[in-house]
Amino acid sequence: MKTFVSEVQKYWPKMEESLGHSFQDKALLAEALTHRSFANEYHAENLPDNERFEFLGDAVLDLVTSEYLMVTLPEAPEGQLTRIRAEVVSMPGLARIASSLDIGPAMLLGKGEERSGGREKSSLLADAVESLIGAVFTDGGFDAAKAVVLPLFVPMLEEASKVEGQDFKSRLQETLQASQRALPIYKVADASGPAHERIFLVEVIVDDTVISSGQGRTKKSAEQAAAELALIALSDET
C-alpha cells in the first residue's frame, strides 16, 4: 500500500497549486482524495473515505455559488437563479472542474475501481471535487473555501447566465450526452380543457424512468417546461 500511496501522493502538490489552497493539515487532503473502494480494501488501516467531505462540500458549493449569483444578478427571480446554479453544480459541470484540476491521477482507488476506469468516471470525479471543497472548508474555513470555489466556477456561472432562456430541450440533451446517458423521450401524459384552451402535460423519460413533467398550452411549451425541470432534477441527483 505504501508504494501505491507514494505514487499517488506525487500529484498532490500540483493539486494544491491548482486549487489555490495549501493544506495546513495534509491528512484532510488525503481523506478528500480517498475513495470508498480504497478505504474498504485497506479496512484494517481504519482509513476514512471522502464521503463525509463530499456531503459538506456540496453544501459549501451551493452556498458560495448562490451568494455569487445573488450579488451578480440582483434582478433575477429565484427560478432563474436555481436553473443557473443547477446547470453548473451538476455532475457534468463538476466533472469539467475535475478535469481542469487533473483529479483522476491524484485519487486513492481500490484495485477493482482502478481496473474499471474509475479515474475517468464522471460521477466519481464530480464527488471528489465536492470532497475537496469540504476539506478546504474544514482546513481553512468559509473564506478559504470561497477563494477556491469562485475562480473555478465563476467562468461556468457566467456562461450559464448568458445562455439562460435558451432552448431547455437542447440543453437537456447536451447535459445527458455529457454524462453518457440515454437521450430524453418526451411523452404527452395528459391533455385537458376545451379545444381552444388545451393544457398539455408532458413527461420526460430517461433510461425508462420519468424524471420530470411540465405543463403548457402547446405540446412544445410543455416539453420545454418539462426539460427545464429535468435539468434541475438531474442536478439534484448529484
CATH of the domain at 136: 1.10.1520.10
Whether 120 and 196 share a structural domain: no
Give 204 or 44, the one with higher predicted confidence.
204
Q: Containing domain of residue 57, as a range? A: 2-163
Q: 137, 163, 189: which is the final residue of a domain?
A: 163
Q: 118, 144, 163: which is the final residue of a domain?
A: 163
Q: What is the mean pLDDT of the chain?
A: 88
Q: What is the mean pLDDT of residues 10-28?
A: 92
Q: What is the mean pLDDT of residues 134-159?
A: 96
Whether 147 and 227 share a structural domain: no
Tally of domains within the chain: 2
The pLDDT assigned to 7 comes to: 76
- CATH number for 207: 3.30.160.20
Q: What is the mean pLDDT of residues 113-124?
A: 86
The pLDDT assigned to 8 comes to: 79
**Residue 84 pLDDT more than 90?**
no
Whether 33 and 112 share a structural domain: yes
3-class SS of residue 36: helix
Pick the closest to residue 62 from 95, 35, 42, 89 (CA basis).
89
Catalytic residue among 58, 87, 127, 203: 58
pTM above 0.75, yes or no: no
Query: Which residue blocks in 33-167 are alpha helix, DSSP H?
Result: 36-41, 51-72, 78-88, 91-101, 111-115, 122-140, 142-163
Catalytic residue among 87, 113, 130, 228: 130
**Residue 146 pLDDT more than 80?**
yes
120 included as an active-site residue: no
The pLDDT assigned to 160 comes to: 84
Of the given ranges (100-114, 128-142, 152-166, 214-228), which has the lowest mean pLDDT?
Answer: 152-166
Whether 122 and 230 share a structural domain: no
The pLDDT assigned to 238 comes to: 54
Whether 93 and 193 share a structural domain: no
Which residues fall within 8 angstroms of residue 49, CB to CB, at 6 or more apart? 31, 34, 35, 36, 38, 39, 40
130 included as an active-site residue: yes
